[in-house]
């Protein structure tokens, strides 16, 4: 196999502005055939913008894109596919009511508009077998889990036989096992001589799978390094520059012990979207001034648990009490006043067509909030924005997440229910947010942290529960060591 | 030449207004050309009739039902609730008006007591009728477009059943209409600067438009309506009640349509007649009025006036050019499409580079 590291894709002096925002400034990167090239950078660095340019979703303002020694122009997604560049976006966009094969057919016009799925099945099966993808072509999409959907997206991309495959934050929603599977798979694609570009803000992931790593900061390329020469400290330094030290030493600790029970769940059954019981006989307690961390894998029912406690789902059996009131008696605006809530998908709680300020005001208690207070919050959470008038839809993924979290915690509700609150955040932003959580706890708040990130749960929780096999088990108070959690998972 | 299309970051002031004017001019030119090409009516004649509509005093007569119902529609439309039942809600108001005036109030009641009672009844009837569809949507997620449309036909059927049946007037020589309501309950126009102005409903329109302007600019509920329209999921997560938004917007919009029904009976017909003659599609034209105003309450008065003028000019066209009302509809249709199409320029700027 020819594995020479010859240049395949060369981008030269790319710039992209959105009004006053310079998202990319004279970016030049040399991508080689047969490598896994990581684009790493803090929230708002310009990673997604770069991916979208290559995928033909945004057009460049200036600069050149050279593929196989030839200058190409990418004006739309068709151009990009024609040149053999395919992208797997962070959130799969499939049509729920169609089967996998039908979805594939929709994406592919080379099979003609009138053809049945037969023609595509042969090609798809070949790819499935070659890479061991484990996809059932005849299943309806709505029955698929997240990782299955992502595999469908990858299959869709591979049907186009791309030279360049771009994955934008591919592992955000995968379990550890699924991640390993994906890494293995990416490796075999690389070994066929394709170029794989992986966008991520996770340093460990970059070091784990990348051959070379390009670090972006504020829309500029800081450096491109070989994995052999890289280590975590130096990458952190390059990614964040001077902000690192400041946040590091801040690390707050807690003062008070747990107080009264603010939320209690006794013997409750919880259901998924299709009415299947996803959690059985749940019992759970949250006390004032503590973080109760619940760890579960993606799809284990974390999301459904959070939604049920916030009053968005039906439940049966047992009883849920929030601040002394039966959940069934609490109406929506009362709930929003007592409980802060960060949903699994922040697009459920933000309005992309409104600006930052207007998004804050959506919450009744923030209706009359002062502008300078908002600005203070933006700085505190390190939300990267031009002004309060910037549309939420134009914020980067991580900054959008910070906006959603900040809005829920600003007015210090008694309880915060947070589902994967740091999911899209970079290394430093996670530290910042954890510090803010501690401050909130010290002021008498309580957090129910529902997280797929085992380290996060272990690091900041006072008490830990684990979801396995539709059951929730709580470890003894004080015991939250990794081994115990893993033991329960086994 | 290169065409560059970019997303706008800030919307220039007055752009909405300019685009609407542009839409009016372009659709005017297109309809003139079509009419000239097909019927050889010179553009001047067409223009003249439009002009005559604009200055025709009877334009104010159409303005009242159109603008009242159109203002009402802004509320649900901002919330993304597509009430197309103004027609039925207007008729509910008209029927309630007639019922109260003929069968409930004593014959000799004085106007300043009787009229307010009637107006309240018409508001409750229109609003209550809209609530049926609102409730079905809020509770069972029933599509409001279908339910409000169906409810229109029910109200049309009911109205005609009444005038052909139990309510047919004794003094009407067998015509399908009720008796005339007592004349102290009529609302007669007054002279104002040389034109006839309705002393109750014209001020009502101005007050309602101003109040709605304030509602959307400065109040929490106005903001909640807008937020719900933009992203119902986010509204729900932030504690905004779906039921409240749907019921409130539907009730108010039905209420204003009901008031328009009362206006038709009290100031124009003075009796209930065949329903197709009470509301000649005002409920549907109100949708157009709302859309043209881009859901701005103050602009709704202007768009209401424009559409009313077009209706009036339709009659002029018939007389001076022998054209049917279709010629006006051609213009109205073009206007609607162009307004929608030009909305593109609100979000994107287009530049030509040589
Ligand atoms: N459509 C847009 N309009 C205006 N500004 C935009 C738009 N898209 C991105 N930006 C801005 O460009 C900058 C880079 O955004 P980008 O989404 O590329 O960041 P990112 O590196 O992917 O960050 P994250 O890790 O948070 O996803 C940000 O400041 C963002 O606000
Ligand atoms: Mg991104």
- The whole-number pLDDT of residue A246 equals 57
Question: Is B86 within a domain?
Answer: yes
* Residue A231 confidence (pLDDT) above 90: no
Ligand 1 nearest atom to the CA of residue A426, by list position: 25
In this structure, the residue with its CA closest to atom 31 of ligand 1 is: A395
| Pair A449, A368 in one domain | yes
Q: Residue A364: which of B230, B237, B239 has the nearest Cβ? A: B239
Q: What confidence score (pLDDT) does residue A256 get?
A: 67
CATH number for A445 = 3.40.50.300
**pLDDT (tens digit, 9 = 90+) per residue, B320-332?**
777 777 777 888 8
Same domain, A312 and A178: no
Which of B223, B233, B239 lies nearest to residue A336, judging by beta carbons?
B239
Is residue B29 less than 8 Å (CB to CB) from chain A? Answer: no
Whether B1 is in a domain gets the answer no
pLDDT of residue A3: 44
**Confidence at residue B11, expressed as pLDDT on a 0 to 100 scale:** 74
Does a structural domain hold residue A250?
no
Does residue B335 fall inside a structural domain? no
At residue A288 the predicted structure's pLDDT band, cuts being 50, 70 and 90, is: very high
In chain B, at which residue ranges do the beta strands (DSSP E only) sit?
Answer: 2-7, 190-192, 195-197, 348-353
User: What is the predicted pLDDT for the residue at A252?
Assistant: 57
ipTM, two decimals, is: 0.79
Average pLDDT over residues A54-74: 91
Query: Are residues A347 and A396 both part of a single domain?
Result: yes
Whether the CB of B223 is below 8 Å from some CB of chain A: the reply is yes
Q: In this structure, are A80 and A228 located in the same domain?
A: yes
Q: Name every protein residue with a CB atom under 6 angstroms from any ligand 1 atom.
A: A 18, 21, 23, 41, 43-49, 201, 384, 394-399
Does any domain span residue A365? yes
| Domain end point (choices A191, A217, A244) | A244
* Residue A256 belongs to some domain of the structure: no
- Does residue A255 lie in a domain region? no
Q: Domain containing B67: what range?
A: 63-300
| Cβ-defined contacts of A201-206 (< 8 Å, 24+) | A201/A40, A201/A41, A201/A42, A201/A43, A201/A47, A201/A169, A201/A398, A201/A424, A201/A425, A201/A426, A201/A427, A202/A171, A203/A40, A203/A232, A203/A235, A203/A236, A203/A239, A203/A427, A204/A232, A205/A38, A205/A171, A206/A38, A206/A40, A206/A235
Strand order in the sheet with A220-226: A85-88, A164-168, A195-200, A36-41, A212-217, A220-226
Interface check for A341 against chain B (CB to CB < 8 A): the answer is yes
Q: Is the pLDDT of residue A5 over 60?
A: no
Residue B24, domain member (yes or no): no
- Kindly give the distance from the C-alpha atom of residue A392 to the centroid of ligand 2, in angstroms, as a whole number: 14
Of the candidate ranges A166-175, A209-218, B80-89, the one whose mean pLDDT is the lowest: A166-175
**Which residues of chain A neighbour B138 with C-beta distances below 8 Å?**
none
User: Is A58 touching B (CB cutoff 8 A)?
Assistant: no
Mutate to test the pocket of ligand 1, among A44, A54, A221, A386 (most ligand atoms within 8 A of CB): A44
Tell me how far apart the alpha carbons of residues B287 and B300 are, in angstroms, rounded to a whole number.
Answer: 11
**Residue A1 banded pLDDT, cuts 50, 70, 90:** very low
Restricting to A residues 116-155, those with a Cβ less than 8 Å away from any Cβ of B are none
pLDDT (tens digit, 9 = 90+) per residue, B236-249? 998 899 999 999 99
The three-class DSSP label of residue A39 is strand
Q: Do the chains contact at A362 and B227, CB–CB below 8 Å?
A: yes
Mean pLDDT across chain A: 87
CB–CB contact B237 A20 (8 Å): no
Above 70 in pLDDT, residue A109? no
Residues A225 and A283 in one domain: no
pLDDT tens digits along A383-411: 999 899 999 988 998 999 999 999 999 88
Gap between the Cα atoms of A248 and B233, Å rounded: 37
pLDDT, one tens digit per residue, over A438-462 is 999 988 899 999 998 888 898 889 8
Does any domain span residue A174?
A: yes
Task: State which of A197, A215, A244 marks the end of a domain.
Answer: A244
Residues A47 and A121 in one domain: yes
Per the domain annotation, does B49 fall within a domain? no
Q: Which residue has the higher pLDDT, B136 or B292?
A: B136
Does A34 share its domain with A154? yes
Examine residue B148 and state whether it is found in any structural domain, yes or no.
Answer: yes
**Number of independent structural domains in chain B:** 1
Residues A230 and A265 in one domain: no
Kindly state whether residue B73 falls inside one of the protein's structural domains. yes
In this complex, how many residue pairs, one in chain A and one in chain B, have their CB atoms less than 8 Å apart?
Answer: 58
Which residue lies with its CA nearest to atom 28 of ligand 1? A44
Residues B119-139, mean pLDDT to the nearest whole number:
97
Same domain, A330 and A236: no
> Quick check: B227 contacting A, CB < 8 Å?
yes
C-alpha of residue A373 to centroid of ligand 2, in Å = 27
Q: What does the pLDDT look like over A301-324, one tens digit per residue?
A: 999 999 999 999 999 989 999 999
pLDDT of res. A116: 65
Is 70 exceeded by the pLDDT of residue A245? no
Of A17, A21, A216, the one to substitute when testing ligand 1's pocket (max ligand atoms within 8 A of C-beta) is A21
Establish if A254 belongs to a structural domain: no
Which structural domain, as residue segments, surrounds residue A39?
Answer: 7-244
Give the per-residue pLDDT at A338: 92
A32, two tokens? 């080689």
**A230 in the same domain as A272:** no
Task: Single out the residue of A69, A48, A56, A470 nearest to residue A280, CA to CA.
Answer: A470
* pLDDT for the residue numbered A239: 87
Specify whether A235 is located in the same domain as A336.
no
**Chain A residue whose CA is closest to B240:** A333
Domain identity same for A184 and A142? yes
Residue A2 in this model has a pLDDT that exceeds 60: no
Mean pLDDT of chain B: 90
Asked if the model's pLDDT at residue B141 lies above 90, the reply is: yes
Whether A312 and B238 lie within 8 Å, measured CB to CB = no
Shortest alpha-carbon distance between residue A394 and chain B (Å): 10
The last residue of a domain, from among A244, A272, A300: A244
Ligand 1 centroid distance, CA of A398 (Å): 9
**Would B20 be classed as within a structural domain?**
no
A107 or A448: which leads in pLDDT: A448
DSSP state letters, A43-93: TTSSHHHHHHHHTTSS--SEEEEEETTEEE---SHHHHHHTTEEEE-SS--
Q: What is the number of structural domains in chain A?
A: 2
High-pLDDT (> 70) share of chain B, %: 100
Q: With an 8 Å Cβ cutoff, is B346 touching chain A?
A: no
B175 touches chain A (CB under 8 A): no
Confidence grade of residue A466 (pLDDT, cut at 50, 70, 90):
very high
């Amino acid at each position: 196999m020819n594995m020479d590291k010859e240049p395949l894709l060369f981008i030269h002096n790319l710039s992209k502005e959105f009004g006053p925002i310079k998202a990319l400034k004279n970016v030049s990167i040399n991508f080689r055939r047969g490598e896994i090239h990581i684009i790493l950078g803090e929230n708002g660095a310009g990673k997604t913008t770069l991916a979208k340019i290559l995928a033909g979703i945004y057009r460049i303002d200036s600069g050149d894109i050279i593929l196989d020694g030839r200058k190409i122009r990418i004006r739309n997604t068709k151009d990009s596919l024609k040149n053999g560049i395919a992208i797997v976006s962070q959130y799969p966009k499939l049509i729920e009511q169609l089967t996998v094969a039908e979805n594939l057919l929709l994406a592919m016009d080379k099979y003609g508009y009138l053809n049945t799925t037969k023609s595509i099945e042969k090609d798809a099966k070949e790819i499935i077998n070659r890479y061991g993808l484990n996809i059932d072509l005849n299943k309806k999409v709505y029955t698929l889990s997240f990782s299955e959907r992502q595999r469908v997206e990858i299959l869709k991309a591979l049907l186009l036989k791309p030279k360049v495959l771009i994955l934008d934050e591919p592992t955000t929603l995968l379990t550890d096992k699924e991640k390993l599977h994906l890494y293995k798979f990416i490796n075999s694609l690389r070994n066929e001589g394709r170029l794989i570009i992986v966008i991520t803000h996770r340093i460990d992931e970059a070091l784990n799978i990348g051959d070379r790593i390009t670090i972006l900061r504020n829309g500029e390329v800081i450096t491109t390094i070989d994995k052999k020469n890289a280590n975590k400290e130096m990458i952190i330094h390059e990614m964040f520059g001077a902000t690192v030290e400041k946040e590091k030493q801040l690390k707050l600790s807690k003062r008070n012990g747990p107080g009264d029970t603010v939320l209690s769940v006794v013997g409750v059954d919880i259901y998924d979207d299709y009415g299947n019981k996803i959690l059985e006989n749940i019992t759970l307690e949250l006390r004032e001034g503590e973080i109760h961390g619940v760890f579960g894998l993606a799809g284990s029912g974390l999301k459904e648990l959070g939604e049920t406690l916030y009053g968005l789902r039906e439940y049966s059996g047992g009883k849920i009490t929030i601040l002394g009131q039966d959940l069934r008696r609490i109406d929506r605006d009362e709930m929003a006043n007592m409980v802060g809530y960060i949903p699994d998908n922040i697009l459920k709680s933000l309005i992309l067509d409104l600006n930052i300020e207007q998004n804050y005001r959506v919450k009744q208690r923030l209706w009359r909030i002062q502008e300078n207070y908002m600005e203070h919050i933006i700085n505190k959470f390190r939300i990267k924005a031009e002004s309060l008038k910037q549309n939420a839809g134009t914020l980067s993924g991580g900054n959008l997440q910070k906006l959603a979290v900040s809005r829920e915690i600003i007015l210090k509700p008694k309880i915060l229910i947070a589902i994967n609150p740091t999911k899209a955040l970079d290394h430093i932003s996670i530290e910042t947010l954890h510090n803010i959580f501690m401050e909130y706890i010290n002021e008498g708040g309580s957090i129910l942290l529902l997280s797929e990130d085992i380290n996060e749960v272990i690091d900041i929780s006072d008490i830990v529960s684990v979801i396995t096999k539709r059951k929730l088990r709580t470890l003894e108070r004080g015991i939250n060591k990794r081994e115990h959690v893993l033991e329960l998972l086994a | 030449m290169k065409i560059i299309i970019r997303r706008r970051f800030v919307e220039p002031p007055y752009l909405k207004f300019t685009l609407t004017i542009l839409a009016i001019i372009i659709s005017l030119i297109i309809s003139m050309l079509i009419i000239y090409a097909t019927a050889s009516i010179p553009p001047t004649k067409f223009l003249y009739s439009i002009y005559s509509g604009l200055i025709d005093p009877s334009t104010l007569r159409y303005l009242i039902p159109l603008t009242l119902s159109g203002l009402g529609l802004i509320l649900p439309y901002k919330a993304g609730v597509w009430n197309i039942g103004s027609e039925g809600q207007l008729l509910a108001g008209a029927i309630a008006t007639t019922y109260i005036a003929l069968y409930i109030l004593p014959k000799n009641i004085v106007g300043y007591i009787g009229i307010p009672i009637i107006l309240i009844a018409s508001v409750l009837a229109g609003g209550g009728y809209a609530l049926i569809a609102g409730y079905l949507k809020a509770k069972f997620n029933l599509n409001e477009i279908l339910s409000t449309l169906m409810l229109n036909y029910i109200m049309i059927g009911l109205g005609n059943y009444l005038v052909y049946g139990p309510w047919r007037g004794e003094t009407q020589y067998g015509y399908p209409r009720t008796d005339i309501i007592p004349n102290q309950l009529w609302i007669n126009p007054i002279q104002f600067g040389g034109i006839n102005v309705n002393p109750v409903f014209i001020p009502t329109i101005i007050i309602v438009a101003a109040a709605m302007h304030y509602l959307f600019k400065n109040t929490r509920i106005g903001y909640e309506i807008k937020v719900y329209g933009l992203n119902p999921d986010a509204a729900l997560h932030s504690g905004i009640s779906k039921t409240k938004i749907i019921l409130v917007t539907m009730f108010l919009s039905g209420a204003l349509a009901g008031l328009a029904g009362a206006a038709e009976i009290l100031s124009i017909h003075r009796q209930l007649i065949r329903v197709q003659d009470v509301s000649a599609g005002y409920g549907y034209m109100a949708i157009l009025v709302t859309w043209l105003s881009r859901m701005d309450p103050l602009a709704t008065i202007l768009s209401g006036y424009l559409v009313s003028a077009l209706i009036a000019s339709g009659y002029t066209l018939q007389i001076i050019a022998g054209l049917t009302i279709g010629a006006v509809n051609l213009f109205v249709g073009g206007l609607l499409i162009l307004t929608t199409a030009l909305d593109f320029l609100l979000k994107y700027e287009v530049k030509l580079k040589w």
